[in-house]
Amino acid sequence: KNTAESQRTEEVDGKTPANMLLFGTPSKLLDGGLVEEQFYDFLETGYARRCIFGYGQHFRPQDTLTPAEIFARLTQPQNSQVIDKWAYRFEELADPQFYNWKMVVEDDVAIELIAYKTHCETISDAY
């Protein structure tokens, strides 16, 4: 972003580069204070344009597995295959051919996305 308040130090040729926004536990980011306010300010000023958000369930393997079972799962050869598959897929999405690409979302899928968004908002309101 090149504005009067934020000048680029070097010009970037081509399309806008991709950004990555990473964060961890909700208690550190969504603390109801200054950190959360700054985070939402970033999103409102345009940082959310290229973000994928997700959440997961907390699971502690040590609650149900032995250390040997955890180690066996961590060292399975197919772990690399799964990581390689997703790394390749995300690399494909970063290809310049997808610049200005539009995806058609069918009505039933859009309805499910709205249901998921509503579900997430209900959960977040409980925090």
Q: What is the pLDDT of residues 58-90, one digit of tens each?
A: 777 777 888 898 898 888 988 888 889 989 988
The residue assigned the tokens 């961590």 is 74
Distance CA 29, CA 39 (A): 8
Taking every pair of Cα atoms in the chain, the longest distance, rounded to a whole number of angstroms, is 58
**pLDDT at site 123:** 85
CA gap 41, 35 in Å, rounded: 10
pLDDT at 109 (0 to 100): 93
